[in-house]
Amino acid sequence: MTDKTIARLPGEYWWGGVINEGSAMPFGRTVHARDLRMTDDNQASPLLLSSQGRYLWSEDPFAFRADEEELSVSPGAGEVVLEEGHGSLKGAYAHASRTYFPPSGQIPDALAFTAPQYCTWIEMFYAPTQDKIIRYAESILANGLPPGILIVDDNWMKDYGMWDFDKHRFPDPGAMVAELHRMGFKVMLWMCPYVSADSTIFKELRGGGLLMTGADGAPVLRQWWNGYSAVIDYTKAEGAAWFRRQMDRLIVDYGVDGFKLDAGEPILPGAPDVTQPVSWSRPLRQLEDCEAYASLGIGYSLVELRMCWKLGGQALIQRQRDKTHTWDAGGLGGLIPNAIAQGLLGYAFNCPDMIGGGMDGDINAPDFRFDSELFVRYAQCAALFPVMQFSMAPWRVLSGDELTWSLDAVRLRTELCEELLALARQAAVDGLPILRSLEFEYPGQGYALVQDQFLLGSDLLVAPVVVKGQSARVVHFPEGRWKGDDGSLVEGPVALEIEAPLSRLPWYRKQ
């Protein structure tokens, strides 16, 4: 395959590739290079979209380089298609979506849009128990938060690959789930594709040929954040069916409502994290193993993913990778740009990381310092994302006005939840992002570089503060009349500095 060089049109910018590079988007301002064949621990897609109505698509990962003059593309195994003539970023996206990742017509469970998620990770790390989870749920309600989706994170199970509750820590999981349901919660369980090599299930899966193997036929061990484990071969129909049977059994036996499918990073050629190169059971396109893992969630009412390759348009909740407890692009500053990129790659049902950041190495570091201002602004920023998620309990880390202001963000979401749900249902039909950039809705009006505010649908403008110590910010108002949360009326197009004390999440509705 030969390289493509595409001259940049006047005022043209590009988005796409990997969502975790949202802060570098749009491309075309400075030099930016990316090889999509390399994993980024988050969602990705072989798609680049232009503000001038052009896009690039390939069924396989490719490398690209953008600068102020041109976009150059080095194809991988497959052809890179250039489509032109679609007028705008929105036009290019709509055509790419219809052609390559049409909407499924389904949405995740409605509760994902009408109430927060509450993950046990930060509060319990690797030590969740039945008693702790019931107490956590009771505390959520006692502190004035609505019941939502409760995610039981890592180490609820007997072992990796042994997907049943540890009976010592969960003596009656069915009763626990029933009690959470009675309280108004739905329940998701954390799962991963790994199998402990010294477990009894390892022997069973090895005997059935359901583990990824090397050239010598022996199971490959992969190094991941919890050690070394074998890997279910979910690229084989039999391996995928085995994994789905585990999920189906948990639904039937205990009444759980869905799953957080963690990990799923592709195994790359020559990767140092595996004991030997994987010998696939059939020829695979590069990154197809990542796509196969994410596909395990299709058809379930509640599935959250961190890793995904392609699969835009599916009814899957796509979470941004773990964020640090910081204001920069690795933390709060990356949320909006990454969410815009998620929507442009077809992941409409997108979720920021846990409020305050869920990077355990960051939060558990000896020098970790909690920033209450950051937590409040994070809650405000996440409140009107398609999906929002708590883990660090706000009532534990905040008090007084700061706690009230964080809870106010949730109350705002509750007030607007039916609109969020309506947008989700619309996205399932037309495939358009729920969370959009100004350039997406108002093309060619100078908004391509605005990455710190967003639109929900066409009519709700949200402008969180994402800079430490800031009590005012510039808001770009597109054409039309906009009514603010403070009762103000603004006639656009105009850019205004507006007051935004820590108590306020600025948002506006088009009249």
* 462 vs 37, residue with greater confidence: 462
3-state DSSP of 330-350: CCHHHHHHHHHHHHHCCCCCE
Residues 272 and 269: their CA atoms lie apart, in Å, by 9
pLDDT tens per residue, range 130-147: 999 999 999 999 999 999
Asked which of 54-63, 225-234, 279-288, 489-498 is least confident by mean pLDDT, the reply is 279-288
Residue 185, CB-side half-sphere exposure with 13 Å CA sphere = 26
Find the mean pLDDT for residues 446-456.
Answer: 98
The pLDDT value recorded for residue 269 is 85
Q: Are 383 and 505 in contact (CB under 8 A)?
A: yes
Residues 373 and 246: their CA atoms lie apart, in Å, by 42
pLDDT tens per residue, range 258-297: 999 999 999 998 889 999 999 988 899 999 999 999 999 9
The pLDDT value recorded for residue 123 is 95
Asked which of 208-217, 355-364, 482-491 is least confident by mean pLDDT, the reply is 355-364
Q: How many CB atoms lie within 10 A of CB 151?
A: 24
Specify which residues 511 forms β-bridges with. none
The answer to whether residue 362 scores a pLDDT higher than 90 is no
Find the mean pLDDT for residues 306-321.
Answer: 98
The pLDDT value recorded for residue 363 is 83
The pTM of the full predicted model, rounded to 2 decimals, is 0.97
